Amino acid sequence: MASEIKPPVIILVKPQLGENIGTAARAMYNGGLASMRLVAPRSGWPDPSALKPSAGAYDIIMDAKVFETTREAISDLHLVYATTARMRDMNKPTFTPKQAVEALHDAIAKDVRVGILFGPERTGLENDDLSLVNGLIHIPLNPDFTSLNLAQAVLIMAYEWFQTLNIEGNRKPLRSQPPLASKSELLDFFDQLESELDRTGFLRVLHKRPVMVRNIRNIFQRLSLTSQEVKTLRGVIGSFARPYLKD
């Protein structure tokens, strides 16, 4: 590895073929990335068909962790960006791969655990997955043909990561910051908030509920809340709910 700092976790959501996982692992290894997580791989895991295409990146394949949901896969992370080939109608910060990697380096310098999310090969990430992330990575390509396979997308991010390692020594030391809330803390906060909004009838229009929930989550994702701030918000929600609770 070209650096002692802890690289981003690479999270592949519902990858369709073992071969694609193998080539993604190869791309990761090219750029000095080592930690792979898989969310509900279609062919199950372990998948022997991933080994040969990995071209020697066996440790990444063997150490890959498997999760049933995106929520579980990101729960211990603090900052997660998602790659997308097309611009999304979401009020989230959007970065080029280079900008995203620079932001991830700065976050890692503050002991923030980070990850990059990649969607299924044919469809990309669903909006429910995107509502869980802090920002989007848009890979600018020919607008008439933006299609990338999974390994290509991973390789672009791995390349940018490896290039920034060369300038890491020139970065200014950062002041100590309060720890960011982990995704697990944020998701538990969302559960509490949405439960209260259901109880009070705010989310009563069922066909609008999914979009409303995503919009609410996006508001808080943009704030980069600290762990203490999330605890305070949960206390606030609890205090609002308390007078209405039955004995």
Domain residue spans of the chain: 9-170, 183-244
pTM to 2 decimals? Answer: 0.80
**Unique residue bearing structure tokens 């590895």:** 1
pLDDT at position 143 is: 81
> What token pair was written down for 162?
């490896």
Tell me whether domains 9-170 and 183-244 share a fold: no
Q: Looking at beta carbons, which pairs linking 84-87 to residues 24 or more positions away fall under 8 Å?
A: 84/119, 84/124, 84/125, 84/130, 84/136, 84/137, 84/138, 84/139, 85/124, 85/138, 85/139, 85/141, 85/146, 85/147, 85/148, 85/153, 86/124, 86/138, 86/146, 87/138
Q: Which helix (H) or strand (E) holds 239?
A: helix 227-241
Q: What stretches of the chain adopt beta strand conformation (E)?
A: 9-13, 36-39, 65-67, 79-84, 94-95, 114-118, 135-138
How far apart are the C-alpha atoms of 157 and 214, rounded to whole Å?
26
User: Which among 38, 117, 108 has a CA at the least distance from the CA of 78?
Assistant: 108
pLDDT per residue, tens digit, the chain (247 aa), is 334 568 999 999 999 999 999 999 999 999 999 999 999 999 889 899 999 999 989 999 999 999 999 999 999 999 999 998 766 667 889 999 999 999 999 899 888 999 999 998 777 888 899 999 999 999 888 888 877 899 999 999 999 999 887 655 544 444 556 788 999 999 999 999 999 999 999 999 999 999 999 999 999 988 889 999 999 999 999 888 776 555 4
User: Which among 158, 73, 76, 81 has a CA at the least distance from the CA of 113?
Assistant: 76
Architecture of domain 9-170: 3-Layer(aba) Sandwich (3.40)
* Whether the Cβ atoms of residue 8 and residue 115 lie closer than 8 Å to each other: yes
pLDDT at position 173 is: 45
* Whether the Cβ atoms of residue 113 and residue 57 lie closer than 8 Å to each other: no
Which amino acid, one-letter code, is at 75? S
Q: What stretches of 121-224 adopt beta strand conformation (E)?
A: 135-138
User: Which among 240, 236, 194, 241 has a CA at the least distance from the CA of 215?
Assistant: 194
> What token pair was written down for 159?
């390349």
Under CATH, what is the fold of the domain 183-244? Helicase, Ruva Protein; domain 3 (1.10.8)
User: Which among 241, 236, 233 has a CA at the least distance from the CA of 195?
Assistant: 241
Measuring CA to CA, how many Å separate 55 from each of 58, 99, 148? 8, 29, 20
pLDDT at position 139 is: 87
* Whether the Cβ atoms of residue 33 and residue 42 lie closer than 8 Å to each other: no
